[in-house]
Amino acid sequence: MHRDTLIVHAGYRKRSTPGPFLAGPQFSSTYTTPGDPSRHAFTYGRFHNPTWDAWEEALGTLEGGHAVAFASGMAAVAAVLGINLKPGDVLVLPADGYYAIRRLASSWLTSIGIEVRLVPTRGNAQGSALDGARLLWLETPSNPLLDVCDIRGLADEARARGITVVVDNTTATAYLQQPLALGATFVVASDTKALTGHADLLLGHVATTDPAHAETLRAWRTHHGAIPGPMEVWLAHRSLPTLPLRVSRQCSSAERLAALLASRPDVAAVHYPGLPGHPGHDVAQRQMQRFGTIVSFDLGTRARADAFLGALTLVREATSFGGVHSLAERRARWGGDAISEGFIRFSVGCETPEDILADVAAGLEAAATPEPR
């Protein structure tokens, strides 16, 4: 069967099983468990939950591996770092990936004696920083600059040197890119974004081809309590069957938006791997099914970016990305990234594409003559 069909049914009950397609969320901190606890499938809510099991089965189908669900993307990130690194190890991290991961690394990891090497994603530069490394962390396309690196090429190089490879697949999602098939040992993602797509929950997951690694991750989750809520997991699973529809439409609209922006002399730079002039275009074409739901661009100054955002009437000014509602924000307001004050990260939603493009065109009109906000 086709991949979209598999996703519609992933983790749902078999058609031969009577009852609901997807069982409701199981809210239970504890279970009736007389005598020897090992005789019971479910004992305590921090250890396991049947709602998680169905969701993890679905995630495993998408990723082609064994998946472990976490309370947020950062909980999943922390788990992968935590189970793989010890004092004295070297971590090669993208200099331009999600800033909170760099902050976590530069606080927690460096404080326990782990060396963190920050290297740009572009041009597979991380490949030249592998000497003595224990863990290579890739993020492609990177957030927010949408630079791309060659997962298979870097993974082959790293694995030949005994280095474990992790890919943060949040911006692409497992629908558009499958890092485990490209040689990664772990894939990590924030499922707060396009995978679930409705801006109503936070979740994350890790997937790996090695069942022993999955068990170690489960033990980490149990001991650190980084567990997802059953309601969030159920909502996520309810949203999964529409992933192919949502993301296909978002990618089509993102391609149109990127082309529009690239044609405008008043936009200083457009970052979208789907543009033929993007430095990672060829690699993205090889390793992604489509080019993603985010378009980033530079309006040069804070005043122009603010004028753009202030003139929008459909697109919401909000952080995050991947959801059905289009969002835009001036990314430099958070700090932490090497970007200009006029840099906009635009998350393309599921609205009618013409409405998104018209709103952007009106925003760019306003940006031509910025007034103090």
Ligand X SMILES: Cc1ncc(COP(=O)(O)O)c(C=O)c1O
Which active-site residues does the annotation give?
46, 98, 168, 193
Two structure tokens written together for 213 = 């690694």
Candidates 204, 273, 274, 363: give the one binding ligand X (CB under 6 A): 204
Least Cβ distance, residue 118 to ligand X (angstroms):
15
Query: What single string gives the DSSP state of each residue in 296-350?
Result: EEE-SSHHHHHHHHHH-SSSEE-S--SSSS-EEEEGGGG--SS--TTEEEEE--S
* Contacts made by residues 222-227, CB under 8 angstroms, sequence distance 24+: 222/46, 222/47, 224/75, 224/78, 224/79, 224/82, 225/46, 226/70, 226/71, 226/72, 226/75, 226/76, 226/78, 226/79, 227/45, 227/46, 227/49, 227/70, 227/71
Which C-beta is closer to ligand X: that of 177 or that of 190? 190
Please say which residue, 196 or 340, places its beta carbon nearer to ligand X: 196
Name, in order, each residue with C-beta under 8 angstroms of 212's C-beta and a sequence gap of 6 or more: none
- Shortest approach of ligand X to residue 353 CB, angstroms? 24
Examine residue 98 and tell whether it contacts ligand X (CB under 6 A): yes
State the residue number with the nearest CB to ligand X. 73
Q: Which stretch binds ligand X (CB under 6 A): 34-42, 70-78, 272-280, 283-291?
A: 70-78
Is 94 a binding residue for ligand X by CB under 6 A? The answer is no
CA separation for the pair 95, 360 (Å, rounded):
30
Please, what is the minimum distance in Å from the beta carbon of residue 76 to ligand X? 8
Binding-site member from 58, 59, 69, 74 for ligand X (CB under 6 A): 74
Counting every residue, how long is the chain? 373
Q: Does 322 bind ligand X (CB under 6 A)?
A: no
Restricting to residues 333-352, which ones interact with ligand X according to CB under 6 A? none
Tokens 């801006």 belong to residue = 199
Which residue, among 314, 312, 309, 323, has the nearest Cα to 355 in the 3D structure?
Answer: 314
208 binds ligand X (CB under 6 A): no
Of the pair 329, 359, the CB lying nearest ligand X is at 329
The answer to the question of residue 202 lying near ligand X (CB under 6 A) is: yes
Site string for ligand X, 156-195 (x = CB under 6 A): ------------x-xx------------------x-x---
- Per CB under 6 A, 72 contacts ligand X: yes
Task: Give CA 239 to chain center in angstroms.
Answer: 16
Category of 113 on φ-ψ map: left (φ > 0), alpha (ψ -120 to 50) or beta? left
**Least Å distance between CB 192 and ligand X?**
4
Query: Which residues in this chain contact ligand X in the complex, by CB under 6 A?
Result: 72-74, 77, 98, 139, 143, 168, 170-171, 190, 192, 202, 204
